[in-house]
């Protein structure tokens, strides 16, 4: 008795209610469950507990049947012959069910016997812990890959939205019933707003139905543009709603909109050589940072000295509570006229700059205004022995111009620019929020297996779509599968590679599996890769070996496969 009471103290539940809440099988209640009555010991007030020790022991030994009988005579209701008869029948049924159950080897379970725990809960091999809080929009849910993606997502417990062009009965029949269907067209930006509402991630596996250029452009390029744009708009809207506190909002480091905003920025000059003699004979250097009458902040000047440079630098004053380690990289909006610059980050204790470590990254600008994304991972230490950059410690940002290694850019007026002078118009510098996971998975193609007459057009559209996605600022994963095959997945080893070297096909199901696995895999963020079946070389013809990965239940093949691939390619 003591044991049972403790159990219920722990759980805080009656046996009957526990089963219905947790989803343990509740068989037909009328047939086999006793209704909890005041006479049952479980509902007894605490004061009685001590004295009921002996009673409890006896009862424990006797089992359920006796418990039922003990209720007799407690209230008038219980002696009602009809009630008695019904109850004794329940008892008999229960006993008989158990008894006859013993004589069987295979038991067929009733519908709810497996319960939540086994079908959707942690006991199911497919369940993904993050799935419950994630809504995925599948664009192209009725395509060969999309169909399987939707099913896989449903099995894993995701909330799924499917974008379809028309809500035809046969389309709806094709999709699982709890998928929420949004009618829209990737070619029509206005129809996408509702589709991205409430979504955390997007899997784009729509392809053009024909190789007509207009179709290709509409789906493979414009479609990706429109969906990324709608998704970014939605994210920005969330960021605004949360007043910049959202994890999606960028951190403003500097905005050059007034003369005051230039305060704190220092212009410095220097040379790489301590060669005083040489400096005497060349033209020297000069630079200034000023706010022009047209409202631009301009950093301009010239460097004629061999090995000389000029730089613009500022110590950060970050808002309280925000540190750069939660960010992924820098975003600069500048007009650099095609010159290249070097960004330098200084880390270390503020008080003692002699201990500072310097990290640099080279950026290229375009003619006119452009936005440059520089991930922190692309910064290299100036001294090769220093540890990799830790964004948390960064305190100073420097933009350096040097005439070395400048590309000669053909300016629009065909007059050659002097590589030694520069003019950099600055608009803002922001820190890009770090994302751990990918936001947008695009299924593209490798181009093999397409009839050669249309291959270029198809690839052009796909490439344009990929580029649009990369520029969008979303965390992306671009999968380029080999020619698709209608085969069950998980059969053959897969090869992940970058750089157009693959030759084999791949099953739709494997591509779908990669999509679903990539959703929560940090190594998949901001990567593009080709994937196909392992190439089985004929004896003696082995050219090179790629690491192959066999998809399986037990191993997560994706992480090791992707971690060796390069980001931002």
Partner 1 sequence: MASRLGSLPPQLASTSLHHHRHHLRPPQCSGQASLSWRRAVAPAQLELISVSTSPGKIPKPFSTTAVATSLSQGTPVRPTSILVVGATGTLGRQVVRRALDEGYDVRCLVRPRPAPADFLRDWGATVVNGDLSKPETIPATLVGVHTVIDCATGRPEEPIGTVDWEGKVALIQCAKAMGIQKYVFYSIHNCDKHPEVPLMEIKHCTEKFLQDSGLNYLIIRLCGFMQGLIGQYAVPILEEKSVWGTDAPTRIAYMDTQDVSRLTFIAMRNEKINKELLTFAGPRAWTTQEVITLCERLAGQDANVTTVPVSILKFTRQLTRLFQWTNDVADRLAFSEVLSSDIVFSVPMAETYNLLGVDQKDIVTLERYLQDYFTNILKKLKDLKAQSKQTDIFL
Q: Which residues between 12 and 31 bind partner 1 (CB under 8 A)? A: 12-15, 18-19, 21-22, 24-25
Q: Check residue 559 for interaction with partner 1 (CB under 8 A).
A: no
Residue closer to partner 1 (CB basis): 44 or 371: 44
* Smallest gap from residue 185 Cβ to partner 1 (A): 23
Instruction: Please state, in angstroms and rounded to a whole number, the distance separating the CA atoms of residues 306 and 274.
Output: 11
How would you classify the pairing of strands 266-271 and 285-291?
Answer: unpaired
Residue closer to partner 1 (CB basis): 125 or 545: 125
Instruction: Please state, in angstroms and rounded to a whole number, the distance separating the CA atoms of residues 90 and 256.
Output: 82
What's the number of CA atoms in the CB half-sphere (13 Å) around residue 163? 26
Q: Which two tokens stand for residue 66?
A: 């006796």
27: three-class secondary structure by DSSP: coil
Distance of CA 534 to the CA centre of its chain: 27
Burial of 559 (0-12, 13-18, 19+ CB in 10 A): middle
Residues 154-183 that bind partner 1 (CB under 8 A): 154-155, 173, 175-178
* Smallest gap from residue 352 Cβ to partner 1 (A): 50
Helices 189-196/224-241 angle, 10° precision: 50
* Smallest gap from residue 61 Cβ to partner 1 (A): 8
Which of 280, 405, 407, 553: binder of partner 1 (CB under 8 A)?
553
Residue closer to partner 1 (CB basis): 61 or 540: 61
Residue closer to partner 1 (CB basis): 144 or 525: 144
Which of 131, 138, 148, 519: binder of partner 1 (CB under 8 A)?
148
Q: Interface with partner 1 by CB under 8 A: which range of 56-64, 213-221, 304-312, 361-369?
A: 56-64
Q: Check residue 54 for interaction with partner 1 (CB under 8 A).
A: no
* Smallest gap from residue 112 Cβ to partner 1 (A): 10
* Smallest gap from residue 167 Cβ to partner 1 (A): 17
Contact by Cβ (8 Å): 411, 452? no
Residue closer to partner 1 (CB basis): 43 or 79: 43
- C-alpha separations of 390 from 254, 293, 350, 352 in Å: 21, 39, 15, 18
Residues 91-120 that bind partner 1 (CB under 8 A): 98-109, 111, 113-114, 117-119
SS3 sequence, 419-449?
Answer: CCEEEEEEEEEEEEECCCCCCEEEECCCCCC
* Smallest gap from residue 116 Cβ to partner 1 (A): 9
* Smallest gap from residue 143 Cβ to partner 1 (A): 13
43: three-class secondary structure by DSSP: helix
Q: Interface with partner 1 by CB under 8 A: which range of 58-66, 202-210, 257-265, 270-278?
A: 58-66
Residues 487-526 that bind partner 1 (CB under 8 A): 487-491, 507-510, 512-513
Which of 31, 35, 57, 60: binder of partner 1 (CB under 8 A)?
60
Residue closer to partner 1 (CB basis): 158 or 529: 158
Helices 53-62/2-11 angle, 10° precision: 90
- Residue with token string 């035809």: 168
Residue closer to partner 1 (CB basis): 47 or 355: 47
* Smallest gap from residue 24 Cβ to partner 1 (A): 5
- Residue with token string 């990706």: 224
Q: How many helices (H) and strands (E) does the chain have?
A: 16, 23
Strands (E), 336-439: 340-347, 357-364, 369-375, 380-381, 394-401, 421-433
* Smallest gap from residue 316 Cβ to partner 1 (A): 43
């Amino acid at each position: 008795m003591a044991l049972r009471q403790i159990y219920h103290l722990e759980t805080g539940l009656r046996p009957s209610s526990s089963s219905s809440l947790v989803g343990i099988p509740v068989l037909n209640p009328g047939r086999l469950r006793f209704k909890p009555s005041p006479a049952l010991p479980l509902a007894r007030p605490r004061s009685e507990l001590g004295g009921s020790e002996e009673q409890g022991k006896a009862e424990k030994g006797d089992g359920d049947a006796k418990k039922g009988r003990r209720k007799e005579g407690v209230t008038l209701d219980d002696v009602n012959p009809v009630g008695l008869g019904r109850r004794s029948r329940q008892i008999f049924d229960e006993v008989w069910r158990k008894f006859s159950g013993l004589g069987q080897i295979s038991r067929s379970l009733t519908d709810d016997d497996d319960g939540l725990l086994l079908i959707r809960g942690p006991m199911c091999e497919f369940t993904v812990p993050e799935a419950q809080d994630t809504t995925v929009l599948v664009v192209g849910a009725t395509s060969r890959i999309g169909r399987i993606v939707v099913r896989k997502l449903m099995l894993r417990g995701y909330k799924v939205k499917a974008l379809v062009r028309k809500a035809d009965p046969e389309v709806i029949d094709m999709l699982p019933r709890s998928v929420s269907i949004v009618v829209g067209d990737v070619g029509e930006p206005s129809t996408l707003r509702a589709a991205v509402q409430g979504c955390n991630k997007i899997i784009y596996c729509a392809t053009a139905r024909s190789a007509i250029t207009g179709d290709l452009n509409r789906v493979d390029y414009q479609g990706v543009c429109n969906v990324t744009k709608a998704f970014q708009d939605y994210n920005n809207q969330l960021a605004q709603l949360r007043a910049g506190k959202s994890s999606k909002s960028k951190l403003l480091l500097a905005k050059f909109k007034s003369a005051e905003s230039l305060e704190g920025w220092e212009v410095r000059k220097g040379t790489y050589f301590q060669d005083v003699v040489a400096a005497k004979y060349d033209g020297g250097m000069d630079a200034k940072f000023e706010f022009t009458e047209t409202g631009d902040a301009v950093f301009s000047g010239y460097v004629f000295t061999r090995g000389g440079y000029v730089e613009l630098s500022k110590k950060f004053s970050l808002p309280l509570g925000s540190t750069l380690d939660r960010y992924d990289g820098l975003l600069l909006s500048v007009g650099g006229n095609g010159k290249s610059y070097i960004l330098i980050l200084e880390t270390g204790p503020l008080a003692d700059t002699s201990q500072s470590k310097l990290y640099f990254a080279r950026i290229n600008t375009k003619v006119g205004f452009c936005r440059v994304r520089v991930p922190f991972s692309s910064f290299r230490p100036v001294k090769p022995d220093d540890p990799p950059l830790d964004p948390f410690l960064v305190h100073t940002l420097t933009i350096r111009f040097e005439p070395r290694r400048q590309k000669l850019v053909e300016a629009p007026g065909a007059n050659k620019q002097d590589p030694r002078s520069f003019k950099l118009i600055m608009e803002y510098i922001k820190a890009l929020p770090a994302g751990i996971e990918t936001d947008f998975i695009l299924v593209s193609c490798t181009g093999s297996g397409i009839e050669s007459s249309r291959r270029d057009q198809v690839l052009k559209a796909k490439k344009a779509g990929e580029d649009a996605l990369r520029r969008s600022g979303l965390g992306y994963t671009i999968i380029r599968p080999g020619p698709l095959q209608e085969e069950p997945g998980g059969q053959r080893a897969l090869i992940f590679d970058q750089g157009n070297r693959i030759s084999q096909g791949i099953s739709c199901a494997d591509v779908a599996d990669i999509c679903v696995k990539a959703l929560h895999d940090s190594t998949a963020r901001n990567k593009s890769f080709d994937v196909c079946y392992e190439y089985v070389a004929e004896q003696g013809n082995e050219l090179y070996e790629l690491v192959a990965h066999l998809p399986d239940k037990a191993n997560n093949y994706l992480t090791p496969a992707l971690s060796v691939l390069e980001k931002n390619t």
